[in-house]
Homo-oligomer: A and B are copies of this chain.
């Protein structure tokens, strides 16, 4: 039944990585349907039959690839969720940095994710995206609920609405991190320091819009 992936997992580690890297590249460059198994095997220099032996089908390749990466993406977030130090917006800032790091390290996988979001016809699209969204929603709601309980949030704002705003702005932030790596010639890839500064600015913007009191503690004190 699933003797397929067994075959793949018995492969020497470097070959396994080459295969995954090539597949990732192909899907990132062309999306799912436009990706070509022919090109993959040609570039890998292995037989077409082998790839099908490993994964069973084109869809199998994609699923293996994507699920693996989703798991990797979740790790740092779990750490942040469990470390309750700092207020909501500091944790958001840490989240942004973790996301930026992942997106910078795996721009292609992130590119696949973006394509998948706005494209039907990806295999398991609903499954994958649903999983991601549920996780993301749960994650943010946890943070928000925590913050609300300790009075860090403007009292007049709905928690769901707050989570939505967080999601919107964070999402956009990640995209801005990934775009330069995805579109060659789409601007310079920002260095770590720049990313850090931007993450802080975004967190401040959110604090100002959603935080209790007013925005950032020092500046807005009306004399």
Contacts and interface: CB of A to CB of B under 8 A. Distances in A.
A219 B209 contact: no
Interface residues of A, number: 38
A137 B192 CA distance: 26
A111 to B, nearest CB: 8
Contact of A118 (B29, B30, B115, B201): B115
B31 A121 contact: yes
A178 to B, nearest CB: 11
Contacts of A33: 31, 33-34
7 smallest CB-CB distances across A and B, nearest first, come from: A222-B222, A168-B172, A114-B118, A209-B209, A118-B118, A33-B34, A208-B209
A120 interface: yes
Interface in A8-64: 29-31, 33-34, 42
A81 interface: no
Contacts of A222: 214, 220, 222-223
Contacts of A176: 164
A161 interface: yes
A132 interface: no
A180 B161 CA distance: 17
A119 interface: yes
Given A156-B219, A208-B209, 17 more contacts: A1-B42, A30-B120, A31-B31, A34-B34, A111-B118, A115-B118, A164-B176, A168-B168, A205-B209, A206-B209, A208-B208, A214-B214, A214-B215, A214-B219, A214-B220, A215-B215, A220-B222
A138 interface: no
A215 B212 CA distance: 12
B118 A119 contact: yes
Interface string A100-135: 000000000001001101111100000000000000
A119 B111 CA distance: 9
A7 interface: no
Interface in A152-172: 156, 161, 164-165, 168-169, 171-172
Q: Give the one of A111, A115, A205 with max B CB within 10 A.
A: A205
